[in-house]
Amino acid sequence: MNHRATELLGSVHLRQTEPRLAILRTLLKTDTLLTQEQIAEQIGPDAPNKTTIYRTLTQLLDKNLVHQAYLDDRTSHFELAHHCGERQCHPHFTCVHCKQTHCLTGISTQLVELPKGFSVQRQQIHIDGVCPNCQTMNKTKEIERV
């Protein structure tokens, strides 16, 4: 994990600092989007302060290492941008039961064609539903009730 974080920073000519490495390691080991607060929680007691995390995420966004998504709660959520294009990223799926947001990298979407005079800055697709894990848990609960 540490080697991959180092590689990512080197690929965009960013110096290896502990906050950058810690944030990238955290994003590398998850398959869901994380808020700034969740990143700090997962790093643990040695997490950088909120300002440092914000500045570091901004630097990683500027270098296209990290993707930012705004979900229904209007809070920024972050993930590695290795599956994202410049103007479009893969769809995101939020489970209405467990509230986890998952990246749907295997699904391709097309950019929306806008009327003349409009230009796309970024297109995001967000889907709400029930994840496989919660569906399995719900079926188990239904069986136990019978």
pLDDT single digits (tens) 32-68:
889 999 999 999 999 999 999 999 999 999 898 988 8
Which has more pLDDT, 112 or 57? 57
In this structure, what CATH number is given to the domain that contains residue 10? Answer: 1.10.10.10
What number is the average pLDDT over the span 94-123?
81
Helix ranges restricted to H, 13-104: 18-28, 36-43, 50-62
- Who contacts 120 (Cβ-Cβ below 8 Å, separation ≥6)? 87, 88, 111, 112, 114
Q: What is the three-class DSSP state of 126?
A: strand
Q: Per-residue pLDDT tens for 122-138?
A: 777 888 899 999 988 87
Q: How many independent structural domains does the chain possess?
A: 1
What residue numbers bound the domain in which 112 lies?
2-145
Both structure tokens of 19: 């906050």
Which has more pLDDT, 2 or 99? 99
pLDDT of residue 110: 77
What is the DSSP code (8-state) at residue 111? P
What number is the average pLDDT over the span 94-115?
81
What is the DSSP code (8-state) at residue 98? T
Q: CA dist 103 to 42, 43, 59, 106, 138, Å?
A: 19, 21, 22, 9, 22
